[in-house]
Amino acid sequence: MAEARASNAAIPIDAGRRLAALPYRFRGGTAERAQAVDCLATAALYEAGDDASGQRAVIQVVLNRVRAPGFPKTICGVVYAGSTRATGCQFSFACDGSVSRRPIHLGWTGARLAARRALSGHVYAAVGRATHYHTDWMVPYWRDSMVKVGRVGTHLFYVRT
């Protein structure tokens, strides 16, 4: 863990590559919106716990992926991408069984509020258009092929080169 943190810290944040994300305007109906809120809130809570800034960052990454090439074009599609495979989940909770043990957690209210706000066009500028992130205690195989553009808590955020 210490080696990973040192390695990640040695890579500077390139704030010049942190372009502003565009506001996201959800265009689906009431049922689709409710499903999108649940998918975003689930990703936010399982990835960031009850940390409000972390939740907003995760939500922004999901919305950035919806608009980026190579990712599913729906919010729930992005959140659960790869969940039917043994490996390859975009978000670990979708594959490791965590989501089937959904806890009652204080973070749900905040995560749902952040999801609704994001679907109404609120942007979390700290991560810009980042489509990837990881915790500072790990070094994913893709890290060196991307540009680090931000940090929120222990999470590091990246854009494609």
- The pLDDT > 70 percentage for the chain reads 94
Predicted pLDDT at 133? 96
Q: Is the pTM of this model over 0.85?
A: yes
DSSP the chain: -HHHHHHHHTSPP-GGG-PPPPPP---S-HHHHHHHHHHHHHHHHHHHTT-HHHHHHHHHHHHHHHHSTTS-SSHHHHHTTTTTSSS--SSGGGTSSGGGGPPP-THHHHHHHHHHHHHTT---GGGTT--EEEETT---TTGGGEEEEEEETTEEEEEE-
Predicted pLDDT at 101? 66
